[in-house]
Amino acid sequence: MSLLFVENLAVSYGNIKAVRGVSLKVDEGERVCLIGANGAGKTTLLKAIVGMLPPAKGSVHFAGQSITHKPSFQIVRLGLAMVPEGRGIFSRLTVAENLAMGAYARRDDAAVRQETDAMYQRFERLGERRNQPAGQLSGGEQQMLAIGRALLSRPRLLLLDEPSMGLAPMMVEKIFDTLRDIAARGVSIFLVEQNARLALESCDRGYIMASGNITGAGTAATLIDDPAVQEAYFGA
C-alpha cells in the first residue's frame, strides 16, 4: 500500500481547471519529484493534498485512510507536513517560536526540546539566531527554518514546494544535502521543483505536469535520459 495515493484529483478556481484528474503515489521511504513549468498546477495540487484547497473531484489517501476532505491541522497530525512555496515563516516571531509552531500538536515536551536542540546543531545559523525575529533571516536561512519547523511535526511524508527558489547555488546545495539526510532517516519526500535536473538527481522517481495534467512519469534515471525531457527542462 502506498503511503500517499492521489486518484483522479481535480481542483478548480471558479471556471479555471487548475488540476485535471491527477493520479500519483509515493511509497514508504521513497523520494518522488514533480516537475513542470510555471502555471502547470503543481502548487495547487500540493495545496489540495494537504487540505488547503477543496478538490472538485477525486480522492487523496494517506497511510491507508482518506484525507480528501480533512482540514489541514488534522492531516498534519497524521504525519503529512508541507514546506510551502515562499517558506511561509512567521516573520515577527523569533526563530525559536517558529520552530515551536511546528510541534504545536505534540505533547511530548522533553522530546520536542531534544529535537529542537538537534535542529540547532543541524542548522547552526538558526541556533545562533534563535532569539531573533525570523524576518531578519536570509532567504536560505528562512528555508532551513521552514524545513526545521515541518520536521518538528514528526512527518512520515514531507512535501516541499520549490525549496530552491531564489537561493544562491551554495545554499541550494546545502538544502538538498539536508533533504537527502532527511530521506536517509526514513522520512518520505514529495518534492515540487522547477530545477528539473536537480530534482531528478535527488529523487527515485518523477512525474511531469503540464496544464493541470500528469504528462509523464518514470524512474528518475529514465526521465533524465529522455531526450524530450532534456529539451523541455534542461535546455538541451
Confidence category of residue 86, pLDDT binned at 50, 70, 90: confident
The CATH number that applies at residue 10 is: 3.40.50.300
Name the residue with higher pLDDT: 88 or 22.
Answer: 22
Residue-wise pLDDT for 166-198, tens only, equals: 888 988 998 999 999 999 999 999 999 989 999
How far apart, in Å, are the Cα atoms of 148 and each of 56, 76, 95, 98, 219? 32, 15, 10, 9, 28
Residue-wise pLDDT for 92-114, tens only, equals: 999 999 999 999 888 899 999 99
pLDDT at 235: 73
Is the pLDDT at 71 greater than 80? The verdict is yes
What contacts 156, CB < 8 A, 6 or more positions away? 3, 28, 63, 79, 80, 187, 188
Number of domains in the chain: 1
What contacts 208, CB < 8 A, 6 or more positions away? 34, 35, 36, 214, 215, 216, 217, 223, 229
pLDDT at 60: 98
How many Å apart are CA 231 and CA 13, to the nearest integer? 31
H helix or E strand, kind and range, residue 212: none
In the chain, % of residues over pLDDT 90: 87
- Determine the structural domain holding residue 164 and report its residue range: 4-233
